[in-house]
Structure 1
């Protein structure tokens, strides 16, 4: 059952409305107003759940003096915000984070251990939201495309809500399939950006054809409005003195280049797959996603009655920018400021459409980000890269010297290394013996901090650093037996530049949890340590629902 089929679809007044939605994404700076208090016993009409992919909390606070009045400042000045919010699992990547947010369940329960992993028997790649039984509607479905929540082993707040109140709508939207599908859960409806066409599409898991409002949005070709548009710094040059200038040797030169201003679609004759793909690592990917979110509010009439709806919007562009240039870069700094202005416009739209006393907005991120190793090293830190393919080849060579010729380690799987269990048995060996030998070898590799075995991951030791975090990332039926933790400021990477995430260190786990909705969440900074897993039981309490069955969090200590 889909959210779209619950109530009738509403058609946007005209195809030109999609362009108007784009034009209205950025509102004029103005001080937000506090609505008259409602009885907190009444659930909000709409939950607006926002995710900024790859946004570390240090960026939110580091650029706080440059924020617009009513973007992130709506949360920081007039909402509730948690200054010590973290993920509890150690392999901090996009799919794992999005799976935790609205389920409250860590990968050890959800089965979403990474963006992709390997099947333990066939060693074939498994993508977190792949489902060959379903295809994208009106768009090409490549192998391993994310089309359903089949691999997601737990329920979400939206699933619980629609289980007791089927009329409620749960819509997930994102530039990435996993960013839309996982928060939408099993009973919601997901729409994801199609990098080849510039459209937003759902899959046949949810419906057989798009509702009229989606067709109208796509027919207007709103992505094409950004063709040849320049990504220009928002502030004067002096405002970026705290971030690293453009054009560093470790910054990617692909896509739109590594210097601002940058023209998206430069040297192209017309919009096409390359242009549509290049929208994502720019501010315009988020602008387009928020335009589609506004179309969803209109088309699905979200928040229009007393049956609470959930709109989840995962904004993907910041992650692409940080991967290419590092969170320390001016490009990341400026992208964050553009995003802040887009959020301001989106909130002002919601105030006008839904009413400021009728909805709750909550914002978080799926993971933080490490500074680029080359930049970190320039500051005197022990930072570098571990080449994964060379390390795996070396490991097999060394294991061969001890146990005989063979491809013992078959490949990386999530945060771990998968082994050929049939080969181990054929040699009359015990798996634990091979794992122990591999662990000792890996611990001699410069840049590897620790390696955890199944015995450790299944045990109760809580004193060994990062073991509990990796335990929460390890699902015994899905994950590889050996889990590897790199040293702080190091990356597993064969690329010569850019940055990443995926570790249990603070720069990857410390993310924003920001909430606004005066009648429900209160106002002020909360310094108490909390986890992203706490969001799901918090929303469930607010909506007077039971928490998702596998939730490991507890309600956030909201100020009142």
Structure 2
């Protein structure tokens, strides 16, 4: 192990052979904490897409991380139900859903069957905007603290600002003591909720009053490159690509067929490169308005960029539209980093970029390439399952709901009929396993066991919270998706295409420079950032400090 090499010798070796030493765990940096931690999330970005277009990237967007920073080539989520809320809850808590209780974007209450939204809280409402009953307004359901919570506990004058196109993308990384702002898709504005404050600060009101979203009305999303340069991607206009919102071909005109900006136009900004551009504009306004990174107290800015997820859902990660969006996002990142260098100072901040989950290829595209893939209709599954259960246990709607990655049952009916739950779960598993597209089913007994040998059981156990999740967890076969819509793609499995995400960092005196081949997990981010900020790790963190490349002295 390199840990046995004297520090002065290791530093000298790395000076000559930086790339070779990049994967070696090294002593932590002794640099003082940065003035600003910029934590970035690209929603729905598999690592394979970062590297697939590396030769077409700008000099200082993603390449800032790949060429000048530290990056982990084999970073994964450890939990098996890989969705937006679960991922965003994991990143800065360092905890799997089994501890955060954020098992999915939405689920059913295990006792009542009522729908639960991951950041829903009817005690609060959006400031100046309509608030639906299941809207995301607070971190109440998050049963873990974040790095930002620890920072603000240590020093209440440090600021933690979290921004996203999605409520969950802002609220969950922001934690309990940060301040979250999310995009309002009916107005094109950003807003917080009354959990955080009674009214917006002036800088937010000024940003919204300028109506920056309206500037994209009538603007074209045109491909950045010549057609021949997209040969590695699937062309536009395929039958499995969703043909709504902005259409499924480039160029796409935002607001086409609309007389003026309105709710449909504002909603359609997100599934385009302009959604990221607008979010980053609000991030700049937050830096200015809150004076983030302007003094000796460390601040945190979390920015979750939602557009890539919407685009991959609609068209698939193999599409030319997704390919071009990556290049558009790369341009926006380059501009944002230039702004940060000028405003905060290149030696004063650390930037970290990751994703909440990866993405499966669109099943129809995968099938055309000779792979086993398809879609599973959840309604049909429940119908067949209940028909089979009725044959053994008598009439009744025994299986009541899909909930996150699992299935709930009528526990009261089972008790009334004297049926042991374990018998019901085992029979349900027997009925589900032969169904098309189902790889495995795990019962409550398996989830509560210590078995670590059965494939994917441990990953599903990490995704399962005993007070929240369903007693039966279902894993689809590789390439298969739950859903009845015949277009687009999704995620949510324990397979590498969904778990393998980027962990990229820049701030050489804190994180070093080079590629690290060692396998790491997203839960490792929180304790690693806590160490850089000289904080204790969040209390429920399950991660380890990342094996950074050799930190560089200032």
TM-score bracket, normalised by the shorter chain, equals over 0.9
Pairwise mapping of residues 291-370 of structure 1 onto structure 2 (< 5 A)?
A: 291-370=281-360
Gaps of 5+ in 2: 1-28
Structure 2 residue aligned with 1:555 = 545
Is residue 2:85 matched to residue 1:102? no
Is residue 2:473 matched to residue 1:483? yes
**1:145, 1:173 → 2: CA distance?**
16
1:425 aligned counterpart, secondary structure: helix
Structure 1 residue aligned with 2:418 = 428
Match 1:153 to one of 143, 154, 160: 143
Shift of 1:76: 0.2
Pairwise mapping of residues 89-488 of structure 1 onto structure 2 (< 5 A)?
A: 89-488=79-478
Shift of 1:121: 1.4
Shift of 1:519: 1.1
- Root-mean-square deviation over aligned CA pairs: 0.6
2:508 aligned counterpart, secondary structure: coil
- Runs of 4+ with >3 A deviation: none
**1:359, 1:40 → 2: CA distance?**
15
String of CA shifts for 1:52-85, please: whole Å, max 9, x gaps: 0000000000000000000000000000000000
String of CA shifts for 1:126-168, please: whole Å, max 9, x gaps: 0000000000001110120000000000000000000011110
**2:232, 2:222 → 1: CA distance?**
18
Shift of 1:122: 1.1
**2:257, 2:318 → 1: CA distance?**
28
**2:416, 2:369 → 1: CA distance?**
50
**2:398, 2:255 → 1: CA distance?**
46
**1:544, 1:259 → 2: CA distance?**
48
**1:285, 1:452 → 2: CA distance?**
39
Structure 1 residue aligned with 2:532 = 542
1:47 aligned counterpart, secondary structure: strand
Comparing 397-406 with 45-54, greater Cα deviation is found at: 397-406
Total equivalences in the alignment: 522
Structure 1 residue aligned with 2:56 = 66
String of CA shifts for 1:509-542, please: whole Å, max 9, x gaps: 0000000001111000000000000000000000
Gaps of 5+ in 1: 1-38
Shift of 1:41: 2.7
Structure 1 residue aligned with 2:513 = 523
Shift of 1:459: 0.8
**1:222, 1:299 → 2: CA distance?**
16
TM-score by length of 2: 0.94
